Amino acid sequence: MSVEIGKQAPDFTLPSQDGKEVSLSDFKGKHVVLYFYPKDMTPGCTTEACDFRDAQESFSELDAVIIGVSPDPVEQHQKFIDKHDLPFLLLADEDHKVAEDYDVWKLKKNFGKENYGIERSTFIIDKEGNLQQEYRKVKVEGHVEKALEFIRENK
């Protein structure tokens, strides 16, 4: 499966921080900001999550929901949400199947070691479930504003 702008975004079902199953298709009729991030509680991921948190109201006004996905387990997501007052869903993709479907599970080099992990990426999905925009190899600073602006201009 692959993702392509203008095509249907791959549907999936994953557990959220409270253990409930959530599917992408549950959000038909809303814009979805689906963001993949490497790991809860790390500096870049915390900054990104808090930036999305701080813009939550602006996204809501545009009829958009924010959904974060990482390989962390449900319990870790709940701790991350509690610590930073995150008002959106975090989904546990522990077997990284959804990350693979969205082609964000990549071989990464870190301090001379190679490991597979999430390449920070965001996908904007329209109200019909089609992929409108993708941001890959995301740099955290200014990213949330770019995503918000894209939805404003394309709602």
Q: Which residues are catalytic?
A: 45
Which tokens sit at 140? Answer: 């955290």
Closest CA to 103 of 132, 123, 124, 89: 123
SS3 assignment for 59-122: HHHCCEEEEEEECCCHHHHHHHHHHHCCCCEEEECCCCHHHHHCCCEEEEEECCEEEEEECCEE
Output phi, psi for 87, to 5 deg. -95, 20
